């Protein structure tokens, strides 16, 4: 197993028990047989590690819209990971650091929509498209975080349906 994955596994173990802001890099390193130097060779800090960790499943779920998966299929896969990793993600999203997971999630979602829309031939530099991407990314991310924090009481298929209904028309017409 490569060292990045080992650090991510250690972080996941710790996030099952406590919030990201309460975890020290030394705790992550201690759970591996790797050195602190190795940690910093791969990551700038624990926030960089949590971003890398999140990106691994993001690309394999919602990120698949770039590869041709339907928006709904990709989002269902994404929400399934949320169900599987509920405590880990809850504790990761609790961070109030500027480098926390919420901001990274939004950034990754913006990049995904940009690539997706570019493949569809949309001018992503147009002001109304930039605004639509921003609204969809921020709104969708925050609603999913609220779903997670609220105990995931709503069926994920219903959440996907509601999120799709609220997509800006400039994006909605491209996902249908």
Condensed to tens digits (0 to 9), the pLDDT of residues 119-172 reads 999 999 999 999 999 999 999 999 999 999 999 999 999 999 999 999 998 888
Helical pair 71-84 and 156-165, crossing angle rounded to 10 deg: 140
Query: What would the pLDDT profile of 32-72 be if each residue is shown by its tens digit?
Result: 989 999 999 999 999 999 999 999 999 999 999 999 999 99
How many Cβ atoms from other residues are within 10 Å of residue 77's Cβ? 17
Measured distance CA(126)–CA(132) in Å, rounded: 10
Total number of residues shown for the chain: 176
């Amino acid at each position: 197993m490569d060292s990045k994955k080992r650090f991510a596994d250690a972080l996941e173990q710790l996030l099952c028990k406590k919030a990201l802001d309460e975890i020290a890099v030394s705790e992550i390193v201690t759970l591996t047989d790797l050195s602190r130097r190795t940690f910093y060779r791969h990551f700038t800090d624990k926030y960089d590690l949590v971003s890398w960790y999140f990106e691994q499943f993001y690309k394999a779920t919602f990120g698949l819209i770039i590869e041709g998966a339907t928006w709904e299929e990709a989002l269902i896969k994404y929400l399934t990971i949320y169900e599987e990793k509920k405590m880990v993600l809850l504790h990761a999203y609790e961070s109030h650091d500027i480098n926390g997971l919420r901001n990274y999630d939004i950034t990754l979602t913006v990049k995904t929509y940009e690539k997706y829309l570019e493949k569809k031939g949309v001018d992503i530099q147009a002001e109304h498209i930039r605004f639509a991407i921003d609204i969809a990314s921020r709104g969708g991310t925050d609603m999913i975080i609220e779903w997670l924090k609220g105990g995931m009481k709503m069926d994920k298929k219903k959440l996907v349906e509601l999120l799709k209904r609220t997509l800006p028309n400039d994006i909605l017409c491209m996902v249908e």
